[in-house]
Amino acid sequence: MNQFREITMSELIRETASRYPDNDALVYPAASLRLTYSEFEKKCVETAKGFMAIGVKKGDHVSVWTTNIPEWLYLQVGLGMIGAVLVTVNTNYKSSELEYILRQSDSTTLVLIEQYRDTNYYETTRTVIPGLDGMKAGSVKSESLPFLKNIVYIGNRKETPGMFSFDDVLRLGRSVSDAELAEREKSTHFHDVMNMQYTSGTTGFPKGVMLTHYNVINDARMVGDVMGMTSNDRLLIQVPLFHCFGCVMSSLNCIVHGSTMVMVEYFDPLKALQYIQDEKCTAINGVPTMFIAILGHEDFAKYDMSSLRTGIMAGAPCPVETMKQVTEKMHCPEVVIAFGQTECSPVMTMTRRDDPVDIRVSTVGRLLPGIQGKIIDPATGEDLPPNVQGEIVTKSPCVMKGYYKMPEETKKAIDEQGWLHTGDLGTVDEQGNFKVTGRIKEMIIRGGENIYPREIEEFLHKHPKVRDVYVVGVPDKKYGEQLLAVIIPESSDSLTKEELIEYCNGRIARHKIPKYWEFTSTVPMTASGKVQKYKIVEQYSSRYAS
């Protein structure tokens, strides 16, 4: 039985730095930064002291709105050391979403960078907090955000009215003694909340998932153990840190195992190829769309991928062909699939490195040690036998404390017996391998027939001219819902709906053949790579609603 460790973030970083002081901890090529674990620990301590100095207390919520930059990692560890809670802010958010997070989370402090893509975070923050220019750093006042006191800016501006610069915070931290920090570290308990992850909003308003030191450190440890991670491994981190895939399955996984974090500020297939070759990465995490983009890059053949060994694909179903190419062309024979959700910190099942390829492409693997999971009838709650579809539920020490300030939502998610209801439909076979067949909310009911989009998507994926496909239900007066397939074709090929209908005829049941077809090059996605099917429905419903 896997032993869950009763350890805080503070104890973890001290332990790893003492065991592997000279190991590369962080490599950040964009800024020519290379830190050993000894140096990384020092940065985290400086950050911890700095945030103590600006008045961040145990239990305070600190929202972090940045891309994958070194400071994010110093904050992940440093805030954990002082018993504060890091609140993740999606890098794609705009002003109303930022205001929602700051208000709902009761954040006392916001940390931000200058900008990302088409959003200037600095200016957006001024929109959310009118009159900030006339305020003193550390004394922010906002009627709509009564808890907010501090704003910390990371960037090159010389003047930041109303805001501390990150360097200011580090300077102020020099007044905090080692003894004061040690006292704070001792007051932190492993069952304290360390991280608040806002669910990525594929289904409506984000909820603040409260995760403890115990939750995330143990999940990160088990994930890395399945990957075979050791202090010799070097993981390319290209998934966003604001998501569990980044800050648990990637950065924390490395910190637990003494591995090296090779970090990209945001996903870029060419940088991924360069960094894998230059830094001799042995592991790579990503959603399938990232792997598809890397494999499809025009310069792919110019780069040496031979150092790679393992990695995780998660966040979306992996097409069979993509898995084959990752194992062969990217030299990743031990790549695994992981499944879970933010509410369970996040991983509950993984395929294993020695699983046959067919298990790795057709299932999401077996439960991690010490984690329970089963399939129940969504209507009755009764346990279902092997190979019968129902809702996937899980119970474990990795299940969240709950949703912040949302007791009713928490009760809906976690039942009286402690089972977390994932909302995912699936089956489990006699060997304990789980399959995800769809979302309960994504299930399409056409004329009384239950239709699961995943089944149709997997089928259409096999067509040689289809790169990607998403099936949704759009409203229909006669049948309730009709099927719409949104197709991303292989770029070099022309593809028609007639060709696809012909491909379906005689191969899948007539009621499963989409009535409507759309061809596109992009679909709406969250920053963490999850397709937002509800937005696809919104986009096309008016066109087809009858």
DSSP 93-145: --HHHHHHHHHHHT-SEEEEESEETTEEHHHHHHHHSTTGGGSPTT----SS-
Q: What is the DSSP letter of 5?
A: P
Residues 6+ apart with CB under 8 A from 120: 114
Q: How far apart are CA 345 and CA 322, in angstroms?
A: 26
Half-sphere exposure of 506 (CA within 13 A, CB side): 2
pLDDT in tens, 7-48: 999 999 999 999 999 999 999 999 999 999 999 999 999 999
Average pLDDT score, the chain: 93
Q: How far apart are CA 196 and CA 212, in angstroms?
A: 9
Q: Please determine, looking at this structure, whether the domain spanning 212-439 carries the CATH number 3.30.310.10.
A: no
pLDDT, greater one: 202 or 340: 340
Q: How far apart are CA 465 and CA 339, in angstroms?
A: 28
Task: From 235, 428, 431, 226, select the one nearest 347 (Cα to Cα).
Answer: 226
What is the rounded average pLDDT of the residues 398-416? 95
Classified as helix, coil or strand, 53 is: helix
Contact 80, 56 (CB under 8 A): no
Residue for token pair 């395929």: 351
pLDDT, greater one: 269 or 292: 269
Helix 9-19 / helix 213-227 crossing angle, nearest 10 deg: 40
Q: Is the pLDDT of residue 343 over 90?
A: yes
The pair phi, psi for residue 48, each rounded to 5°, is -55, -50
Q: Which amino acid is residue 459, in one-letter code?
A: F
Residue 478's pLDDT band (boundaries 50, 70, 90)?
confident
Q: Please determine, looking at this structure, whether the domain spanning 9-16+33-198 carries the CATH number 3.40.50.12780.
A: yes
The residue ranges of every structural domain in the chain are: 9-16+33-198, 212-439, 444-544
Q: How far apart are CA 77 and CA 181, in angstroms?
A: 13
Residue 1's pLDDT band (boundaries 50, 70, 90)?
very low
Residues 6+ apart with CB under 8 A from 137: 150, 151, 160, 162, 163, 164, 168
pLDDT at residue 2, as a whole number: 54
Q: What is the DSSP letter of 239?
A: S
Q: 172-176, 406-410, 478-482: which has the minimum mean pLDDT?
A: 478-482
Matching fold, domains 9-16+33-198 and 212-439:
yes
Q: How far is CA 375 from CA 385, 396, 526, in A?
A: 8, 15, 28
Q: How far apart are CA 247 and CA 66, in angstroms?
A: 13
Q: How far apart are CA 399 and CA 395, in angstroms?
A: 7
Q: Is the pLDDT of residue 202 over 80?
A: no
pLDDT in tens, 299-317: 999 999 999 999 999 877 7
Q: Which amino acid is residue 244, in one-letter code?
A: C
Residue for token pair 């997997």: 458
End-to-end, the C-alpha distance of the chain in Å comes to 56
Q: How many CB atoms lie within 10 A of CB 152?
A: 25
pLDDT in tens, 232-248: 999 999 999 999 999 99
pTM of the model: 0.88
Rounded to 10 degrees, the C-alpha dihedral 94/98/99/103 comes to 160
Which tokens in the block code for residue 440? 């309960």
Which tokens in the block code for residue 12? 């973890």
Q: Please determine, looking at this structure, whether the domain spanning 444-544 carries the CATH number 3.30.300.30.
A: yes
Which tokens in the block code for residue 373? 């999971």
